Amino acid sequence: MPTINGDLSAKLEPLIAVLTDEPGEAAEILNRLLAVTSRFVEGGGAPAEVPMSERTSFLITYGDSIRRTGQAPLKTLRHTLDATVGDRISDVHLLPIFPWTSDDGFAVTDYYEIDPNVGAWSDVTDLSATRGIALDFVANHMSSQAGWFQAWLNRDPSFADFFITPAGDFDASQVVRPRTTPLIHDYERPDGSTVSAWSTFGRDQVDVNVANPATLEALTDVLLTYISAGATTIRLDAIGYLWKDSGTACIHLPGTHAIVKIWRAIVDATAPGVKLLTETNVPHPDNISYFGDLTDEAHMVYQFALPPLVLHSFLSGSAARLSAWSRGLEDLGAAATWFNFLASHDGVGMRPSRGILEPQEQEALAARAHASGGRASYAMEPDGSQSVYELNVNYVDALVDDAERRDDAVVAARARAAHAILLAQIGVPAIYVHSLFGSRGDTAGMESSGVNRRINREKLDADTLLAELGSDARRHGVFEAISHMLEVRRGQPAFAPTSPQEVLDAGDQVYAIKRGTGAQAVTALVNVSRTPARVDGYSGTDLLTGDRFDSPELAPDGVVWLQGS
């Protein structure tokens, strides 16, 4: 593939120069990257390109979130989605489906195998026949039981320098940590000696050494293997921590950005249409830095500020904070977009809301999480104070207070209103499996495991779920509301990922945005308050009901998507 290699080399060389100023090492990295790319191209493994559009919507789920006795969970997931949402969900983000030892899948032991408790590669292929597939690439670290790490402990020369033993003069005093566990752990070698290794997320999750050319080649091979298997989106988990330099925070470093750009260049050259999605749960300016120049790094970044701001809107009864923030969003053009979500397998990250919400507003959200049966975790600030770090709570539960939670109709209406914002917002929408199906918080699972995030990770029996979608008022109401909006959305070009967005002024009670232009434009109005709100000056036909409105009066949790005049 001389043309691809020539063009790709020209793109890779300046990026590799960020990683090393040693000519020999730079040449080795380039040759390794070209070699692994050539193997991928010769294998012919790139999926067909499917451009994102208003029909694009993601479901976020574990491979075994839905189970049926005697059936591989990935098969069960496919059958359940076919029987419920059909083509209203276009893509499925599968959280790690590989063998693991801890952190509910994020301590991977083998990048190349599917956890037999979830299914097999053939099940991924079957699922990809009708939906796009996003696979989780846990590139920053792996399980301490992984074959790569065990080979390194055993001094296998093929894995020399695959992991990091910091030099004695390495200054780690400024390292940013998402955990309170030690940064460095000692591990026993087969001969009884011990060796230390860098472990950002804890003892069982050992960071890889991407400064080593062989490690970078191996990781790139994993990335391309996932694409060969049919992945149309690759989620780069915890990618901000990838590169380490003495005396720095070891997060968002130039080396990390260079590697994401290297992978983007390789993907663009060999599998155009495949998207890179970066997961960086950090304040907004750091988060959007992974767009690069909007053409050379991530295709999508998580919109981490959206979940706490939407929750704050319904808790406070005011969309003022959400509107002001949304009004200030950067214009990304046509080459990049936001990955919007409200709930996920993790909690509601609060760090991205810093500078947007006041500390007392963040504390109010923490109090709501506790009142909803969940938890809130805190981070220590440099001055010794504490700030809210994450809310571990079922998102739909958190939207309503204790009294409202007893009224399934109110729960469904509130969930509908929140997801109407998600589905109308510029970018690509992603809905968590437990939000789509109206699940309640799994407090028993959280308490029995001692893992706060388990409140939102319940495993559902497929047949019970299908029955409850017809008999359980909460499940039925939430599912039907979200499913209907998905169906309407996919027929409106105004909701394409990069279609223009204008934030309107409809008073603090109402979140109001206009998407698209001309006759196809849609104005979304959502009342986030507990009192009716009249919205003067807006008219059109509500796409969700077919009703005609002139200056509509929205009930609490009321929603209209207006088109025409």
- Which among 350, 73, 96 is positioned nearest to 235, based on CA atoms? 96
The predicted structure's pLDDT at residue 173: 92
Helix (H) or strand (E) holding 67: strand 66-67
CA dist., res. 556 & res. 410, Å (int): 10
Continuous H helices in 44-155: 73-83, 121-128, 147-153
Active-site residues, by number, are 237
Contacts of 10 (CB under 8 A, 6+ apart): none
Furthest-apart CA pair in the chain: how many Å?
A: 79
pLDDT band at 2 (very low <50, low <70, confident <90, very high): very low
Q: Do 304-334+336-499 and 1-45+54-139+213-241+250-299 have the same topology in CATH?
A: yes
CB 336 within 8 A of CB 299: yes
For the packed helices 254-270 and 213-228, what is the interaxial angle rounded to 10 degrees? 40
pLDDT band at 524 (very low <50, low <70, confident <90, very high): very high
Average pLDDT over the chain reads 96
CA quadruple 114, 119, 122, 123: dihedral sign: negative
Question: 355-398, pLDDT tens digit by residue?
Answer: 999 999 999 999 999 999 999 998 766 676 788 999 999 999 99
Could you count the other beta carbons within 10 Å of the beta carbon of residue 174? 12
The pair of three-digit structure tokens given for residue 273, joined into one six-digit string: 């249409």
Q: What angle do CA 305, 479, 66 make, to 5 degrees?
A: 90
Give the amino acid at 166: P
- Which among 533, 531, 554 is positioned nearest to 544, based on CA atoms? 554
Mean pLDDT of the region 149-173: 97
The predicted structure's pLDDT at residue 510: 98
The pair of three-digit structure tokens given for residue 79, joined into one six-digit string: 């059958």
The predicted structure's pLDDT at residue 44: 83
CATH homologous superfamily of 304-334+336-499: Glycosidases (3.20.20.80)
pLDDT band at 1 (very low <50, low <70, confident <90, very high): very low
Contacts of 433 (CB under 8 A, 6+ apart): 59, 60, 61, 62, 65, 66, 439
Contacts of 330 (CB under 8 A, 6+ apart): 288
Residue with tokens 């901000």: 240
CATH number of 1-45+54-139+213-241+250-299: 3.20.20.80
Question: 59-92, pLDDT tens digit by residue?
Answer: 999 999 999 999 999 999 999 999 999 999 999 9
CB 243 within 8 A of CB 255: yes
Mean pLDDT of the region 181-185: 94
Rounded to a whole number, what is the distance in angstroms from the first to the last CA of the chain? 55
- Which among 75, 124, 132, 60 is positioned nearest to 98, based on CA atoms? 124
The pair of three-digit structure tokens given for residue 158, joined into one six-digit string: 């093929």
pLDDT band at 4 (very low <50, low <70, confident <90, very high): low
The pair of three-digit structure tokens given for residue 562, joined into one six-digit string: 């207006």
Residue 47 has pLDDT above 90, yes or no: no
Mean pLDDT of the region 209-238: 97
CB 83 within 8 A of CB 469: no
CA dist., res. 269 & res. 75, Å (int): 33
Contacts of 169 (CB under 8 A, 6+ apart): 246
403 CB burial (10 A radius; 0-12, 13-18, 19+)? exposed
The predicted structure's pLDDT at residue 396: 98
Cβ burial 235-272 (10 Å sphere, 16+ → b, else e): bbbbbbbbbbeeebebbbbebbbbbbbbbbbbbbbbbe
pLDDT band at 179 (very low <50, low <70, confident <90, very high): confident
> pLDDT over 90 for what percent of the chain?
92
The pair of three-digit structure tokens given for residue 189, joined into one six-digit string: 């070698």
pLDDT band at 224 (very low <50, low <70, confident <90, very high): very high
Question: 409-450, pLDDT tens digit by residue?
Answer: 999 999 999 999 999 999 999 999 999 999 999 999 999 999
CA dist., res. 404 & res. 260, Å (int): 45
Question: 299-344, pLDDT tens digit by residue?
Answer: 999 999 999 999 999 999 999 999 999 999 999 999 999 999 999 9
The pair of three-digit structure tokens given for residue 130, joined into one six-digit string: 């009708």
Mean pLDDT of the region 460-489: 98
pTM given for the model = 0.96
CATH number of 502-563: 2.60.40.1180
* DSSP state string for 23-65: HHHHHHHHHHHHHHHHHHHHHT-PPPP----TT--EEEE-TTS
Mean pLDDT of the region 140-152: 98
The predicted structure's pLDDT at residue 381: 67
Residue 131 has pLDDT above 70, yes or no: yes
CA dist., res. 65 & res. 346, Å (int): 14
Mean pLDDT of the region 97-119: 97
CA dist., res. 89 & res. 490, Å (int): 10
Domain ranges of the chain: 1-45+54-139+213-241+250-299, 304-334+336-499, 502-563
